[in-house]
Chains A and B, each alone.
Chain A
């Protein structure tokens, strides 16, 4: 079915998009990249990547359990990711971004993650050790995405982005400067709960696409690259989303023509973007230092 890559790019794209499953994959990719960019930028800023990772890992037993019970994997991702996010949010202290608060949260998150992996093993065992989807759960399967999946992803993304639009400025304040934010009447604890739930929903979406283990390809790498490039919040968000979209589009094409897993292709491209951004900042810093020396 795959005619292979030619240098006639327009024909390539036309061919790729003649397959309904690829069109769905691209639609889902756009939704996931935008959502992961916005939420990931805040996650990197708040240094809650460990929380994000652990919530993603809990999506794996969620999906396994759902399939074992004959339900949709998407349901499992959302149920478990939101559930673990809620547990972490309710049991962590304060706004979650102070040094002591983060130390407390990290142990808590590790507990949740370990339990999740143990549950994953249990469900695999219950299934008879032959859960063919394991690889898809862990590393993503873009061809398994259906019209219904795209609809669900889009609806959740709209809801999450609406929440982010309502809370954006307060969340930034609570993340950057919790003490003053609290004095100004922003409940940093409530912001932490809201953000972790938003993160749970987003991680579930991204998991559906990249698999539980590679969510950071879209959740961390574009945001981390953008924060290397700019310290402006709005510009940073725009760059994050743009990188996410580009690596998703090219990653899907590469996965399709190269017969690779999307998790691998998207992660590799996102990593390349991060390296490029890091190198650019390094070079810019060196140049600035040399100019300063010369003056």
Chain B
């Protein structure tokens, strides 16, 4: 199935229409989640197929990352049904790649990027890696090759042998995407991967994720609070607000009508000359949490 999607990549920009997977990677039906007895969101319907790129949007504090936790099986759904790769969440760990919310490696961390990627492949194994095993073990050689291959895929070969603490934010993020991809997952769960990157790096990493999604036939679910860097790549979005959710193509969901209905208060979606979407009038309450990051003035006014 993966390979079908790969061949379709050029001809099917939006959804792999034919020959793709009959079996969806991800199905949520009327799903809801509660944390500490408080209902965070409900009424989420979503189907994601191989090679599709879906974003989870909404104001901060609404529980977007919680959605990833539900898909990983770390948190139960409070209502509705959730199926991941044909199983209940948490039942198919190896086939899911997960990139947690932005984590910066300490500048003094003296471990190479390639080691961090490799831990994504074998870090949960018992024992220790033996030196010179590559000379005796075919499996070890195959693993070494896979690590190098996935690093090349994300374009990180030039700095993968440097200590990861010395890499820039964008370089670290590419290496972490390689780490999430190294086991050839069928589903990639990304939690704010563009967060705290500068604009050129946001564009670069977004394009990279899109390319991987199409080339490798991986389904991507990405939590984002700014849709603009990925807007042109998305097959579908899920927009979550306190109490409700809407899903569908971005052009249908991120509209004045849908968001006004969702928020229950007049909201206007404006399109800037460069195609960027700006949501005006949405409840601002916790939305400016994003000020925990420095130097991100560009994000103000963009869709949160």
Contacts and interface: CB of A to CB of B under 8 A. Distances in A.
B162 interface: yes
A144 interface: no
A125 interface: no
Interface residues of A, number: 28
Contact of A45 (B111, B122, B180): B111
B126 A185 contact: no
Contacts of A230: 110
B244 interface: no
A183 B127 contact: no
Contacts of B125: 169-170
Nearest to A38: B128
B111 A184 contact: no
Contact of A184 (B93, B110, B116, B131): B93
B170 interface: no
Interface stretch (A77-85, A173-181, A199-207): A173-181
B115 interface: yes
Interface string A230-250: 111110101000000000000
A170 B112 contact: no
B20 to A, nearest CB: 27
Contact of B123 (A166, A181, A227, A236): A181
Contacts of A45: 109-111
B129 interface: yes
28 contacts: A45-B110, A164-B128, A165-B128, A167-B126, A168-B128, A169-B124, A169-B125, A169-B127, A172-B115, A173-B119, A173-B124, A176-B105, A176-B119, A177-B179, A179-B100, A179-B103, A180-B99, A180-B100, A180-B179, A180-B180, A183-B74, A183-B98, A184-B120, A186-B124, A227-B110, A230-B110, A231-B163, A232-B115
Given A183-B74, A233-B111, 8 more contacts: A166-B126, A166-B127, A169-B128, A169-B129, A176-B109, A177-B119, A180-B100, A232-B112
Those 7 A-B pairs whose CB atoms lie nearest each other, nearest first: A173-B123, A168-B128, A179-B100, A231-B163, A227-B110, A184-B124, A231-B110
Interface of A: 45, 164-170, 172-173, 176-177, 179-181, 183-186, 227-228, 230-234, 236, 238
